[in-house]
Every structure is written in C-alpha cells, then in structure tokens.
Amino acid sequence: MSKFKKKRGKSQPAISTASLPDIIFMLLFFFMVVTVMRNSELLVDVVVPEATELQKLQQKSLVNYIYVGKPKQKNQAKYGTSPRVQLNDAFVKSSLEAEIPLFLEKHKIKVPEQQRPRITTSLRVDGDVTMGIVQDVKTALRKANQLKVNYSARPRAQR
C-alpha cells in the first residue's frame, strides 16, 4: 500500500472578488476624467426650424457651432431683445468679420492637420431671426475661408 493517496476530483479554488471594487472605481475615475461635457452655455434662445431632408453629422469634434437668436430672459436686461450672435460662451462684441476668424482659428488649432479640411460650421439659428443677420454671418465665414456650412434643424413631425 502506498503511504500517500492522490486526491481525485480536486476542484479549482474560487476566484477572489476582493479587488473587484478597486477595478470598478478605477474605471469610473477613468471615464470621469476622459468624458467631455458641453463646453459652452447657451446665452440665446434657439428654436431651430423643422426640415424633412436631414443628415446627421458624423464627427462632432470637427464641428463649430454658431448660435443666433434672441438673448435668454435673464440676459435681456443687459443685451436687449434684438437677435445676437453667440460664439462659444460669449456674444460677438465688435464686428463679425473680426471675431469669427479668431473663433475658427482657435478650433482649428485643436484639430489634427489631416482632419482640418473636414471642419464644418453649423449655424443654429432661431426660426424667428431675419435672414439679414444670417447673411452677415455667412459673409464673415466666406471671408474667413470657411466654406463648409451646415444649418441645424429638427425633424418635421410625421403627419
């Protein structure tokens, strides 16, 4: 007879879950650091018009947003009720031809060189704004050599 018996059918030990909370908190922290929140606060009321033929923009990181509309209720005492142009977090103070090229250049610096020709400017214009101010914005974009322009709209309700 043998002195030592071999144990048959020995099972594997259970996997320890002690480090699982550490891993979850590391993932949570990673996503909190990496996630980009909206970087501009809307200072104007914008209700975009409805449209039927819409295309979704693919890479939102390549899009500049220009907002045109009446200032929000809390800003009307300071800025009045006439339509204003908003770039990032501020209204255009001087002329459109002076501020729009700077706005476009600040965004262009952040984009890799090979993707710069695909930069698009999206106009989010309130439906009640006259076309005069929109035409001024388009003229300033043309002078700044930003020729890819998109008009934001919402889908028309099905009837």
Q: Token pair 């439906």 is at which residue?
A: 127
Whole-structure pTM value: 0.73
**Host domain of residue 62:** 44-155
Whether 62 is in a domain gets the answer yes
Angle at CA of residue 35, ends 67 and 60, nearest 5°? 40
**Beta-bridge mates of residue 150:** 122
* Confidence at 9, pLDDT banded by 50, 70, 90: low
Whether 39 is in a domain gets the answer no
Whether 37 is in a domain gets the answer no
Point out the least confidently predicted range of 32-46, 52-66, 74-88.
32-46
Whether 131 is in a domain gets the answer yes
What CATH code is carried by the domain that includes residue 74? Answer: 3.30.420
> Which pLDDT score, from 0 to 100, does residue 8 have?
66
Whether 11 is in a domain gets the answer no
Whether 85 is in a domain gets the answer yes
pLDDT at residue 151 is higher than 80: yes
In the predicted model, what is the mean pLDDT of the chain? 88
pLDDT at residue 150 is higher than 70: yes
Number of domains forming the structure of the chain: 1
CB 89 within 8 A of CB 43: yes
Whether 10 is in a domain gets the answer no
> Which pLDDT score, from 0 to 100, does residue 38 have?
63
> Which pLDDT score, from 0 to 100, does residue 7 have?
66
> Which pLDDT score, from 0 to 100, does residue 146 have?
93
Whether 80 is in a domain gets the answer yes
